Amino acid sequence: MSWYRNTVWFVKGLREYTRCGYESASRHFNPDDVEVNVAGRSFLVTGANSGIGKATAKEIARRGGTVHLVCRNKERAEVARGEIVTETSNQNVFLHILDISNPREIWKFAEKFKNEHQLNVLINNAGCMVNNRELTEDGLEKNFATNTLGTFILTTALLPLLEKADDARVITVSSGGMLVQKLNVSDLQSANGTFDGTMVYAQNKRQQVVLTEQWAKAHRNIHFSVMHPGWADTPAVRSSMPDFYEKMKNSLRTEAQGADTVLWLAVSSEATKLPSGLFFQDRQPVRTHLPLASTHSPPEDEEKLMEVLEEFSQKFKSASPG
Protein backbone atom coordinates (compact mmCIF):
# COMPACT_ATOMS: atom_id res chain seq x y z
CA MET A 1 0.00 0.00 0.00
CA SER A 2 2.84 2.43 0.81
CA TRP A 3 4.39 1.76 -2.62
CA TYR A 4 1.03 2.47 -4.26
CA ARG A 5 0.54 5.74 -2.35
CA ASN A 6 4.07 6.85 -3.20
CA THR A 7 3.55 6.09 -6.89
CA VAL A 8 0.22 7.92 -7.04
CA TRP A 9 1.68 10.94 -5.29
CA PHE A 10 4.76 11.00 -7.56
CA VAL A 11 2.75 10.70 -10.80
CA LYS A 12 0.51 13.53 -9.61
CA GLY A 13 3.64 15.55 -8.86
CA LEU A 14 5.01 14.96 -12.36
CA ARG A 15 1.87 16.40 -13.91
CA GLU A 16 2.35 19.48 -11.79
CA TYR A 17 5.81 20.01 -13.33
CA THR A 18 4.41 20.55 -16.84
CA ARG A 19 2.99 23.66 -18.52
CA CYS A 20 -0.51 22.58 -17.49
CA GLY A 21 0.67 22.37 -13.89
CA TYR A 22 1.98 25.92 -14.06
CA GLU A 23 -1.19 27.23 -15.68
CA SER A 24 -3.26 25.61 -12.96
CA ALA A 25 -1.08 26.96 -10.14
CA SER A 26 -0.85 30.45 -11.64
CA ARG A 27 -4.60 30.95 -11.31
CA HIS A 28 -3.91 31.48 -7.62
CA PHE A 29 -0.98 33.88 -8.05
CA ASN A 30 -1.27 37.51 -6.99
CA PRO A 31 0.17 39.51 -9.91
CA ASP A 32 0.95 42.40 -7.55
CA ASP A 33 3.55 40.24 -5.77
CA VAL A 34 6.01 40.71 -8.61
CA GLU A 35 4.83 44.06 -10.00
CA VAL A 36 7.38 45.94 -7.94
CA ASN A 37 10.12 48.46 -8.56
CA VAL A 38 13.51 47.16 -7.45
CA ALA A 39 15.62 50.12 -8.59
CA GLY A 40 18.62 50.51 -6.32
CA ARG A 41 18.79 46.81 -5.51
CA SER A 42 21.56 44.61 -6.89
CA PHE A 43 21.05 41.06 -8.17
CA LEU A 44 23.64 38.50 -9.27
CA VAL A 45 22.39 35.70 -11.54
CA THR A 46 24.65 32.79 -12.52
CA GLY A 47 24.10 30.94 -15.79
CA ALA A 48 22.33 34.03 -17.10
CA ASN A 49 22.99 33.83 -20.84
CA SER A 50 20.08 31.45 -21.57
CA GLY A 51 17.14 29.55 -20.16
CA ILE A 52 15.77 30.28 -16.71
CA GLY A 53 18.74 32.45 -15.74
CA LYS A 54 18.29 34.77 -18.68
CA ALA A 55 14.51 34.91 -18.23
CA THR A 56 14.98 35.81 -14.56
CA ALA A 57 17.61 38.46 -15.28
CA LYS A 58 15.39 40.03 -17.93
CA GLU A 59 12.41 40.33 -15.58
CA ILE A 60 14.54 41.82 -12.81
CA ALA A 61 16.01 44.34 -15.27
CA ARG A 62 12.49 45.17 -16.43
CA ARG A 63 11.69 46.11 -12.84
CA GLY A 64 14.66 48.46 -12.57
CA GLY A 65 17.13 46.29 -10.71
CA THR A 66 20.87 46.34 -11.23
CA VAL A 67 21.68 42.94 -12.69
CA HIS A 68 25.03 41.17 -12.75
CA LEU A 69 25.09 38.36 -15.29
CA VAL A 70 27.63 35.65 -14.45
CA CYS A 71 28.24 33.47 -17.49
CA ARG A 72 30.85 31.05 -18.79
CA ASN A 73 30.70 31.82 -22.53
CA LYS A 74 31.64 35.42 -23.36
CA GLU A 75 30.15 35.52 -26.84
CA ARG A 76 26.75 34.13 -25.83
CA ALA A 77 26.74 36.27 -22.70
CA GLU A 78 27.31 39.47 -24.65
CA VAL A 79 24.39 38.61 -26.94
CA ALA A 80 22.17 37.92 -23.91
CA ARG A 81 23.16 41.18 -22.24
CA GLY A 82 22.40 43.10 -25.43
CA GLU A 83 18.95 41.53 -25.67
CA ILE A 84 18.15 42.27 -22.03
CA VAL A 85 19.25 45.90 -22.29
CA THR A 86 17.33 46.41 -25.54
CA GLU A 87 14.12 44.80 -24.30
CA THR A 88 14.10 46.45 -20.86
CA SER A 89 15.83 49.80 -21.57
CA ASN A 90 17.82 49.18 -18.41
CA GLN A 91 21.50 50.01 -18.84
CA ASN A 92 22.44 48.69 -15.39
CA VAL A 93 23.15 45.18 -16.66
CA PHE A 94 26.72 44.06 -16.15
CA LEU A 95 28.57 41.03 -17.46
CA HIS A 96 31.09 38.84 -15.64
CA ILE A 97 32.76 35.84 -17.27
CA LEU A 98 33.21 32.94 -14.86
CA ASP A 99 33.15 29.15 -15.03
CA ILE A 100 31.29 27.95 -11.93
CA SER A 101 33.10 24.59 -12.15
CA ASN A 102 36.45 26.33 -11.45
CA PRO A 103 36.74 26.91 -7.68
CA ARG A 104 39.89 29.04 -7.82
CA GLU A 105 38.30 31.39 -10.32
CA ILE A 106 35.16 31.65 -8.18
CA TRP A 107 37.21 32.83 -5.21
CA LYS A 108 39.06 35.38 -7.35
CA PHE A 109 35.82 36.65 -8.86
CA ALA A 110 34.09 36.94 -5.48
CA GLU A 111 36.94 38.86 -3.86
CA LYS A 112 36.98 41.35 -6.74
CA PHE A 113 33.17 41.63 -6.78
CA LYS A 114 33.04 42.36 -3.04
CA ASN A 115 35.44 45.26 -3.48
CA GLU A 116 33.55 46.85 -6.36
CA HIS A 117 29.82 46.20 -5.89
CA GLN A 118 26.96 45.87 -3.47
CA LEU A 119 24.67 42.83 -3.52
CA ASN A 120 21.15 42.28 -2.24
CA VAL A 121 20.17 39.04 -3.97
CA LEU A 122 22.25 36.08 -5.16
CA ILE A 123 20.56 33.68 -7.59
CA ASN A 124 22.44 30.40 -7.98
CA ASN A 125 21.08 29.21 -11.31
CA ALA A 126 24.13 27.86 -13.16
CA GLY A 127 24.22 24.10 -13.44
CA CYS A 128 25.06 21.20 -15.68
CA MET A 129 24.13 17.60 -16.34
CA VAL A 130 27.08 15.74 -17.81
CA ASN A 131 26.01 12.23 -18.73
CA ASN A 132 29.47 10.67 -18.73
CA ARG A 133 31.93 11.00 -15.86
CA GLU A 134 34.26 13.90 -16.69
CA LEU A 135 36.87 15.57 -14.53
CA THR A 136 37.70 19.25 -14.47
CA GLU A 137 41.29 20.48 -14.64
CA ASP A 138 41.28 20.33 -10.83
CA GLY A 139 40.36 16.63 -10.87
CA LEU A 140 36.77 17.26 -9.76
CA GLU A 141 33.78 15.40 -11.20
CA LYS A 142 32.16 18.06 -13.35
CA ASN A 143 28.55 17.85 -12.13
CA PHE A 144 29.68 18.04 -8.51
CA ALA A 145 32.13 20.86 -9.27
CA THR A 146 29.44 22.97 -10.91
CA ASN A 147 26.21 22.17 -9.13
CA THR A 148 27.41 21.64 -5.58
CA LEU A 149 30.92 22.91 -4.91
CA GLY A 150 30.62 25.93 -7.21
CA THR A 151 27.31 26.92 -5.62
CA PHE A 152 28.80 26.43 -2.15
CA ILE A 153 31.92 28.49 -2.81
CA LEU A 154 30.19 31.39 -4.56
CA THR A 155 27.56 31.66 -1.83
CA THR A 156 30.11 31.31 0.99
CA ALA A 157 32.41 33.91 -0.58
CA LEU A 158 29.59 36.44 -1.03
CA LEU A 159 27.97 35.97 2.39
CA PRO A 160 29.94 38.85 3.96
CA LEU A 161 28.62 41.19 1.27
CA LEU A 162 25.07 39.92 1.67
CA GLU A 163 25.27 40.27 5.46
CA LYS A 164 25.69 44.03 4.97
CA ALA A 165 22.72 44.33 2.62
CA ASP A 166 19.13 45.32 3.22
CA ASP A 167 16.65 42.45 2.70
CA ALA A 168 19.36 40.05 1.53
CA ARG A 169 18.29 36.86 -0.22
CA VAL A 170 19.90 33.75 -1.72
CA ILE A 171 17.87 31.66 -4.16
CA THR A 172 19.15 28.37 -5.59
CA VAL A 173 17.56 26.73 -8.61
CA SER A 174 17.28 23.03 -7.82
CA SER A 175 15.09 20.29 -9.29
CA GLY A 176 12.26 18.01 -8.28
CA GLY A 177 14.56 15.21 -9.37
CA MET A 178 16.19 15.46 -5.96
CA LEU A 179 13.12 13.75 -4.50
CA VAL A 180 14.45 10.38 -5.71
CA GLN A 181 17.80 10.81 -3.96
CA LYS A 182 18.95 10.47 -0.38
CA LEU A 183 21.98 12.57 0.54
CA ASN A 184 25.12 10.50 -0.05
CA VAL A 185 28.21 12.00 1.57
CA SER A 186 30.35 8.90 1.03
CA ASP A 187 30.72 9.36 -2.75
CA LEU A 188 30.34 13.05 -3.55
CA GLN A 189 32.25 12.74 -6.80
CA SER A 190 30.44 9.64 -8.07
CA ALA A 191 33.58 7.55 -8.36
CA ASN A 192 31.96 4.27 -7.32
CA GLY A 193 29.61 2.07 -9.31
CA THR A 194 27.96 2.78 -12.64
CA PHE A 195 27.84 6.47 -13.52
CA ASP A 196 24.32 7.73 -14.26
CA GLY A 197 24.37 11.43 -15.13
CA THR A 198 20.68 11.92 -14.37
CA MET A 199 21.00 10.44 -10.89
CA VAL A 200 24.24 12.31 -10.22
CA TYR A 201 22.44 15.53 -11.12
CA ALA A 202 19.54 14.58 -8.83
CA GLN A 203 22.01 13.90 -6.01
CA ASN A 204 23.59 17.32 -6.54
CA LYS A 205 20.15 18.89 -6.37
CA ARG A 206 19.46 17.08 -3.08
CA GLN A 207 22.76 18.51 -1.84
CA GLN A 208 21.59 22.02 -2.80
CA VAL A 209 18.45 21.56 -0.70
CA VAL A 210 20.57 20.52 2.29
CA LEU A 211 22.91 23.47 1.75
CA THR A 212 19.98 25.87 1.76
CA GLU A 213 18.60 24.42 4.98
CA GLN A 214 21.99 24.59 6.66
CA TRP A 215 22.71 28.15 5.53
CA ALA A 216 19.29 29.26 6.77
CA LYS A 217 20.15 28.00 10.25
CA ALA A 218 23.55 29.68 10.31
CA HIS A 219 22.76 33.07 8.73
CA ARG A 220 19.61 34.54 10.21
CA ASN A 221 19.96 37.94 8.51
CA ILE A 222 19.68 36.45 5.01
CA HIS A 223 16.60 34.77 3.53
CA PHE A 224 17.54 31.49 1.82
CA SER A 225 15.31 29.51 -0.50
CA VAL A 226 15.65 26.73 -3.04
CA MET A 227 13.18 25.96 -5.80
CA HIS A 228 12.05 23.62 -8.55
CA PRO A 229 11.20 25.42 -11.82
CA GLY A 230 9.17 22.54 -13.20
CA TRP A 231 10.01 21.08 -16.59
CA ALA A 232 10.87 23.99 -18.85
CA ASP A 233 11.91 24.15 -22.49
CA THR A 234 15.48 25.39 -22.11
CA PRO A 235 18.68 24.81 -24.12
CA ALA A 236 20.07 22.80 -21.19
CA VAL A 237 17.14 20.37 -21.24
CA ARG A 238 17.39 19.94 -25.01
CA SER A 239 21.12 19.20 -24.93
CA SER A 240 21.37 17.16 -21.72
CA MET A 241 18.11 15.21 -21.97
CA PRO A 242 17.29 14.86 -25.70
CA ASP A 243 15.07 11.78 -25.28
CA PHE A 244 13.09 13.42 -22.49
CA TYR A 245 12.78 16.60 -24.54
CA GLU A 246 11.42 14.78 -27.58
CA LYS A 247 8.86 12.96 -25.47
CA MET A 248 7.74 15.97 -23.42
CA LYS A 249 8.37 18.99 -25.68
CA ASN A 250 4.69 19.74 -26.19
CA SER A 251 4.09 19.79 -22.44
CA LEU A 252 7.11 21.76 -21.26
CA ARG A 253 6.85 25.13 -19.57
CA THR A 254 8.22 28.23 -21.23
CA GLU A 255 11.44 29.68 -19.85
CA ALA A 256 9.46 32.55 -18.30
CA GLN A 257 7.12 30.09 -16.56
CA GLY A 258 10.11 28.17 -15.23
CA ALA A 259 11.62 31.42 -13.96
CA ASP A 260 8.44 32.73 -12.34
CA THR A 261 9.11 31.38 -8.84
CA VAL A 262 12.74 32.52 -8.98
CA LEU A 263 11.53 36.03 -9.74
CA TRP A 264 8.89 35.83 -7.00
CA LEU A 265 11.48 34.71 -4.45
CA ALA A 266 13.87 37.44 -5.58
CA VAL A 267 11.59 40.49 -5.62
CA SER A 268 8.34 39.94 -3.74
CA SER A 269 7.77 40.95 -0.14
CA GLU A 270 5.52 37.91 0.29
CA ALA A 271 8.42 35.48 -0.16
CA THR A 272 10.31 36.68 2.90
CA LYS A 273 7.23 36.41 5.10
CA LEU A 274 7.79 32.65 4.88
CA PRO A 275 10.58 30.96 6.87
CA SER A 276 14.10 30.84 5.48
CA GLY A 277 15.39 27.53 4.11
CA LEU A 278 12.27 26.21 2.37
CA PHE A 279 11.90 24.42 -0.98
CA PHE A 280 9.45 26.07 -3.41
CA GLN A 281 7.44 25.16 -6.46
CA ASP A 282 5.03 27.60 -8.14
CA ARG A 283 5.34 30.20 -5.36
CA GLN A 284 4.49 27.69 -2.64
CA PRO A 285 6.70 25.82 -0.17
CA VAL A 286 6.54 22.09 -0.88
CA ARG A 287 7.87 18.98 0.82
CA THR A 288 11.46 17.89 0.25
CA HIS A 289 10.71 14.17 0.58
CA LEU A 290 8.06 11.95 -0.98
CA PRO A 291 5.61 10.43 1.51
CA LEU A 292 7.08 7.33 3.16
CA ALA A 293 10.28 7.65 1.11
CA SER A 294 13.62 6.60 2.56
CA THR A 295 15.40 9.80 1.57
CA HIS A 296 15.72 11.45 4.99
CA SER A 297 19.27 11.85 6.26
CA PRO A 298 20.62 11.95 9.81
CA PRO A 299 21.86 15.38 10.96
CA GLU A 300 25.43 14.12 11.07
CA ASP A 301 25.37 13.44 7.31
CA GLU A 302 24.17 16.97 6.60
CA GLU A 303 26.85 18.38 8.88
CA LYS A 304 29.44 16.18 7.15
CA LEU A 305 28.43 17.61 3.76
CA MET A 306 29.08 21.13 5.02
CA GLU A 307 32.41 20.11 6.53
CA VAL A 308 33.66 18.39 3.37
CA LEU A 309 32.61 21.30 1.15
CA GLU A 310 34.30 23.74 3.50
CA GLU A 311 37.51 21.71 3.30
CA PHE A 312 37.36 21.75 -0.52
CA SER A 313 36.54 25.43 -0.44
CA GLN A 314 39.48 26.40 1.75
CA LYS A 315 41.86 24.22 -0.25
CA PHE A 316 41.04 26.10 -3.43
CA LYS A 317 40.96 29.46 -1.70
CA SER A 318 44.47 29.00 -0.41
CA ALA A 319 45.55 27.84 -3.86
CA SER A 320 44.14 30.96 -5.53
CA PRO A 321 46.70 33.60 -6.48
CA GLY A 322 46.09 36.92 -4.80
Whether residue 234 has pLDDT greater than 50:
yes
Closest CA to 56 of 211, 220, 267, 202: 267
Q: Cα separation of 153 and 313, whole Å?
A: 6
Can you tell me the distance from the alpha carbon of 17 to that of 176, in angstroms, rounded to the nearest whole number? 8
Percent of the chain with pLDDT over 70: 90
The per-residue pLDDT for range 259-315, each reduced to its tens digit, is: 999 999 999 999 999 999 999 999 999 999 988 889 999 999 999 999 999 999 999
Return the higher-pLDDT residue of 322 and 273: 273
- pLDDT tens digit string along 235-273? 666 666 677 657 766 778 898 999 999 999 999 999 999
Q: Looking at 4, 22, 201, 245, which residue is catalytic?
A: 201
Q: What single DSSP character describes residue 100?
A: T
pLDDT band at 49 (very low <50, low <70, confident <90, very high): very high
Active site residue 201: yes
CA distance 61 to 41: 10
pLDDT greater than 90 at residue 37? yes
CATH numbers and ranges of domains, the chain: 3-315 (3.40.50.720)
Strands 284-285 and 278-281: antiparallel
Q: Give the pLDDT confidence of 128-174 residue by residue, as tens digits.
A: 989 999 999 999 999 999 999 999 999 999 999 999 999 999 999 99
